[in-house]
Structures are given as C-alpha cells and as structure tokens.
Structure 1
Amino acid sequence: MSTGKIAVAGATGRLGLHVVDVLTERGHQVVPMSRATGVDIITGEGLAEALSGVEVIIDVASWHGSEQEAATEFFRTSARRLHEAGRQAGVVRIAAASIIGADKATAGFVAAKKVHEELLLAGPLPVRILRAAQFHEFVGQLLAWRQGDVAYLPALPPQLVACRTVAEELADLATDPDDPAPGTPIPEIAGPRKEIMAEAGRLLGARRGIEVVVVDGAGIPDAEIAAAGGFLPGPHAKLAGPTFLEWLDTQP
C-alpha cells in the first residue's frame, strides 16, 4: 500500500535500480533522482522540484571510484544537499545505505562511508541507516580490473549479499512507520553465509574465461581489519537472500 511519494537518490545505480523496482512493485509513487533524470544532488540542479510532495528520501547515491578523499567530498556535499532540500520540502526522513564495518574503517572508500554516516546523522532530518555487506555484483567489478585474462583477487572473507535483498530491506526500513527504539544498533543485512572473495571470483571467472589468482590483501585499505572479520555482520544482522553460487546461477 502506498504511503506517499518516495524519492530515490542514485536511482540509476546498481542498488538504486533495485530500490526503484521494489518500491514500484509495492505500490509506492517513486521519484527517481539521478543526473540521468535531470537531478544532481551535488550541484542541487532539479532537486527542489524533484522533492516537491516527497515524504521519504532513500539515499543510495555513490561515488564512482574508491579514492577516499574524492568519495568523502562527494558524500559530504550530497548529505548537506539532501538535508537542506529535504527540510525545505517537508520530507519526513532520509534512509540511506552504508557498509557493514564502516564504523571500524580507517582508509579508502569505506572510511568515506563512515564520514557519510556521521554527516547524515548530524543533519536536521531524522535518518535511518542500513549497513550492507558487499554485493554479489561487486565480484564482477573486481574481475573487470584484470590484467589481460588474469584477475588478482584477495582471499578476504565477505558475507556477500544480493543487491535485490538489500533493496528490499532498505525499502522496509524507509517505510516503517515506527521509529526504532533508542539504543537500537544500526541494522545490518548480509548474505546467508561467509564467502571467500577469491573463490567467488573463480566461480564467476570460470564462466567468463578469466583466470583468478589469489593474492594477499596488500595495498587494500583496511585489509587486516577485513581479514580479521571486521567487515562481517554482527550478531544482530539479518541474513537473507541467495548464496553467491545460487545468485550466479540466476544470472544471464
């Protein structure tokens, strides 16, 4: 049942496409916001018009690279813009996707998401955050950074989750009429079991004709924290969706 208009920032991105689909299927009136739809949450172009009559903003907009300083600046600006424009438009709340372990991060993109969380939570509008594990789709992104027909992937242990599963949980969080009780930990969503990134890469690589070589985490931001399980879901996390292999078998 529809509960008013919901704007999705980053609507044409990997996660955003799923969020828009889930909300539409559930009968919500969705306002997709991205530069492709004429809305720029960094410059503010088209933002006030897009938020007219909107009740909830779902923020899944993301920086396209892994460089910490550029990503941090993107999130700093986007958080400020969404709060300012949302407050002026009478938005009730913002719900945003983050990354499990962001609070532990010290470097790289995940550290930028840590700042993003802090800035969102410090703004004038109520904010709900969902921390997600790395997406199944991220494995293909890693394979794209190969050298010739060989990809070098670390043996780090994420609890990979499907984008669709994250989108469903984020839609639930954004539209729940009841505020979380004080002291409730930030919710987390992850896949049903721990995977090894390099092994997931080998499964996908075998289908694409790409050899995967296992390497240590040298050069990867916070690789020691990751290897120690710092980016795995906590005991309060929801585990849902397909395993990586189950998901892979549904892909074209």
Structure 2
Amino acid sequence: MRIAVAGATGNIGALTVAALERQGHDVVRISRSLGVDLSTGAGLDEALTGVEAVVDAINAPAADEAATVAYLGTATRHLLAAEARAGVRHHVLLSIVGIAEVGGNAHYAGKREQERLVEAGPVPWTIVPATQFHDFAEMVTGWTEQNGVATIAPLLVQPIAPADVAAVLAEIALGDPKGRYPDVAGPETQDLVDMARRTLAVRGREIKLVPTWDGVFGVSMSGNALLPKEDARLESTTFDEWLSGRD
C-alpha cells in the first residue's frame, strides 16, 4: 500500500515511516526539507500520486496562538485539497487528548483548527487523540532551563511511548476511516515533575526543577484535564521501560 506521512522528518513522523516500511509498505515522506512545502502546497500533487492514505503528524514552529492557528490551518487546507485531487481515501490526523477543554495554549488552538478542517473536509478521516509522549518532561525542561534551573508545571499525565503512537497511526492508516478514534494513552498516570526528575537522572543532568503554574502551562491543564477518557486505548510501554531503553 502507498501511504504518505506528513511531518516525516519529525519524531512521530519518522517512527511512523519506519513502522510502515517494516511492514513492506511504500511510504512517501512529506517534509519541506524533502521538497514538499505544506505552507504553499508546492510538490504536494506529485508526492500524493497513487497514495491511498495520508498520516498527518506535522508540528508548528513556536509562535503565538494566531500564528500557530494560521500555520497549521494553511498546511491542513493544502494537504486536504491535494488529497482530494489525488483521490486519497483516508486522512489520519494525530491530535492531542483534552484540547477541547483547555484554553490559552497556542499549540492546542492550532490542533483544534486542524481537527475542524479535517472534520469538514473532502477526505474520509480518522482523528487520533494521543496523550503526551514519554519524552515530554525532558522537552519542557529544555524549553525553560536557564543557568541550571527549570520551571515545570505539576501536570497529571498518562504518557505514551512515541513508538507506540507511531504503531497505532500505522495500523489505523491501513484500515478504513473511523471518524474520531478513542483516546490513545500509555498504561500509567504520572506527575510531570517526577517524570522530569527521573529523566534528568538517567541523562546524568543536574537541573533544579521549580514546580509552578506560572510558566508554559496554566491551571486550565490541572487535575484530570490531560488524562484520557474511560474508553481509551492503552498501549503497554511504561515510562520506566521507555527510560531504560534510552541511549
């Protein structure tokens, strides 16, 4: 089967490409660095020739809410229009658990715009909401660290291994469109501050963590806001297992 992956050079995109290729599928990589620009649509028609399904795992560069919504909205419009022209039968969008209930986050606003466009678009679709990835705590620490000190919100999350997300996306792309898919999450609830401490310890990095809601994430993400619904699909890789497999 010929499947395209948008955002193919990113973390989840690259893992999804690998998962599909291990199963013997013909994978088209869509990325600006590979000559296909979702911001303008350049190269999309050629890239989608003969493609049956598209997995959208793109990210937006850090920006304010308006710019993020514009970036992801424009990319999604170009992608859906090209898919319709090419006769693509299935659009699979990677989204995030809880974005409908959380305001004040630019990336979440952009993902909501993507979901809106996909739901109203011309291509049969599946939206896959996933929880934060196991490397999320380390990423957040990297955003805020200055002079050996990093602020981090005490988020309650149920993180999932990136490779598990990619495997789910690959599986869904091979099947029929399902509309809104159940939440996809890891097996255990975790505290983001504790995740950061444990990840930094494995990495051998000494950074002082300051738990606070006065930073990247606000109190709208507190409590159960980011946790999956009861009917969620739970993948098996635990945070500890993921940590033990790091380089």
What range describes the TM-score normalised by the shorter chain of this pair? Answer: over 0.9
Matched, 1:247 2:242: yes
1:153 matched residue in structure 2: 152
AA aligned opposite 1:250: G
SS of 1:65's equivalent? Answer: coil
Per the TM alignment, residue 66 of structure 1 is displaced from its structure 2 partner at its CA by: 5.4
CA contact (8 A) 1:201 1:212 kept: no
Pairing partner for 1:187 from 175, 182, 191: 182
- After superposition, the Cα gap between the structure-2 partners of 1:240 and 1:93, relative to the gap in structure 1 and judged at 3 Å, is same
Task: Name the CA distance, whole Å, in 1 between partners of 2:85 and 2:49.
Answer: 9
1:224-243 deviation per Cα after TM superposition (whole angstroms, max 9, x unaligned): 33212111000111111322
Distance 2:9 2:32 in 1: 9
**Does the 8 Å contact 1:156/1:217 carry over to 2?**
no
Q: 1:232: which partner in 2?
A: 227
CA distance in 1, matches of 2:36, 2:180: 32
Once residues 16 and 187 of structure 1 are traced to their aligned partners in structure 2, the CA distance between those partners, rounded to angstroms, is 20
**What residue ranges of structure 1 are gaps of 5+ in the alignment?**
none
Equivalent residue number for residue 101 of structure 2: 104
Q: CA shift at 1:150, angstroms?
A: 1.9
SS in structure 1 of the partner of residue 52 of structure 2: strand
More displaced 10-residue stretch of structure 1: 119-128 or 105-114 = 105-114
- Letter of the 1:155 counterpart: P
Alignment match, 1:132: 130
The one of 84, 88, 109 equivalent to 1:87 is 84
Once residues 172 and 23 of structure 1 are traced to their aligned partners in structure 2, the CA distance between those partners, rounded to angstroms, is 8
Name the amino acid aligned to 1:132: A
Q: Secondary structure at the match of 1:247?
A: helix
Q: Write the letter of the residue equivalent to 1:104.
A: E
- Identify the residue that residue 43 of structure 2 maps to in structure 1: 46
Structure 2 distance, partners of 1:162, 1:232, is: 15
Q: 1:214 aligns with which of 202, 210, 217?
A: 210
Match of 1:23 among 20, 35, 57: 20
Q: Provide the rounded CA distance (Å) in 2 between the counterparts of 1:121 and 1:212.
A: 43
Task: Write the distance in 2 (CA, Å) between the matches of 1:224 and 1:144.
Answer: 21
Supply the distance in 1 between the matched residues of 2:101 and 2:222 (Cα, whole angstroms). 13
**1 CA distance for matches of 2:44 and 2:96?**
25
Identity, % of aligned positions: 35
Distance 1:210-1:152 versus aligned 2 partners, 3 A rule? farther
How many Å separate the matches in 2 of 1:193 and 1:214?
23
Distance of 1:160 and 1:75 partners within structure 2 = 24
Q: Does 1:200 align with 2:198?
A: no
Question: What value does the CA root-mean-square deviation take over the aligned residues?
Answer: 1.5
What residue number does 1:11 align with? 8
What amino acid maps onto 1:20 in structure 2?
A: V
Q: Does the 8 Å contact 2:6/2:31 carry over to 1? A: yes
Residues of 2 paired with 1:30 and 1:186: CA distance?
23
Superposed displacement of residue 163, structure 1:
0.8
SS at 1:125's partner residue? coil
143-152 or 9-18, which deviates more: 143-152
TM-score, normalising length: structure 1? 0.92
Please report the TM-score for the alignment, with normalisation by the length of structure 2. Answer: 0.93
Which residue, 42, 61, 66 being the options, matches 1:64?
61
3-state DSSP class of the match of 1:88? Answer: helix
3-state SS of 1:54 partner: coil
Q: Is the 8 A contact 1:149 1:209 kept in 2?
A: no
Preserved contact between residue 105 and residue 114 of structure 1 (Cα < 8 Å): no
Query: How much does 1:27 deviate?
Result: 1.4
Counterpart-to-counterpart distance in 2, 1:105 and 1:227: 10
